[in-house]
Amino acid sequence: MTGFINGDKNKAYNELFIPAAEKYFPVLEKILKKSGSGFFGKNGPTWVDFYISEEITTLSGFAPDFFKNYRDLIAFKERVHNLPELKNYIKSRKQTPM
């Protein structure tokens, strides 16, 4: 199946995912705080917010504790998912593994 490789999941998680999170998640949090809007754009949500919130959702599905040290990113995802224009859709959409 495309996107999947054989190997030790724990090793990949510890040697690839954790170091990537430690490198990039603080950068995302810094940009988010700098915008002052609660979103990545200074004037409110943009497509970037939708994309990043869905990446957070997907990664959280694979590894629920992945964002435990990045509460600002989880709060951001909730903010996007609670936008009035999206809230009902997010709540009613089919949950998939990816």
Q: What is the pLDDT of residues 14-66, one digit of tens each?
A: 898 899 999 999 999 999 999 999 999 999 999 999 999 999 998 888 888 88
User: CATH code for 9-92?
Assistant: 1.20.1050.10
Q: Quick one: average pLDDT of 69-81?
A: 96
Q: What local confidence, expressed as pLDDT, does residue 13 receive?
A: 85
Task: Decide: 62 and 50 in contact? Cβ < 8 Å.
Answer: no
Does residue 2 carry a pLDDT above 70?
no
Domain ranges of the chain: 9-92
Read off the pLDDT band of 98 (50, 70, 90): low
Q: What local confidence, expressed as pLDDT, does residue 4 receive?
A: 65
Q: What local confidence, expressed as pLDDT, does residue 3 receive?
A: 57
Residue 8 to residues 14, 15, 72, Cα–Cα distance (Å): 10, 10, 30
Q: What angle do CA 83, 89, 93 make, to 5 degrees?
A: 135
